[in-house]
Amino acid sequence: MATQIVMDHTGDSRHFFDQTDPEGLAKAERRFKKLTGQGFIAAIRTADGDLKVVRTLDSTADETLFYPRLVGG
């Protein structure tokens, strides 16, 4: 079971999906495109434990973290 974690001003929300289920994967892909289209940054954890920014859904990743872009002022 994979997880998409969305961070925002209210905290975080988690969306779970089965990577082997075509319907669940399609829903995760739509969520990925919607969030990145709204300006969220998507990142996955590498085998070394570091975060790596991704531009497309990696269906093999156990976790994808979405966080809003920081805006300076």
Residue 18 CA to residue 73 CA, distance in Å, equals 40
Please check whether residue 19 lies inside any domain of the structure: yes
- CATH number where 18 lies: 3.10.20
- Cα 42 to Cα 1, 45, 70, 73: the distances in Å are 18, 11, 13, 23
Query: Which residues fall within 8 angstroms of residue 19, CB to CB, at 6 or more apart?
Result: 1, 2, 25, 59, 60
Lookup: tokens for 57: 């859904």
Please check whether residue 73 lies inside any domain of the structure: no
Q: List 8's β-bridge partners, or say none.
A: 11
pLDDT for the residue 69: 86
pTM of the model: 0.89
pLDDT for the residue 4: 97
> Per-residue pLDDT tens for 24-40?
999 999 999 999 999 99
> Which residue segment(s) compose the domain that 26 sits in?
2-68
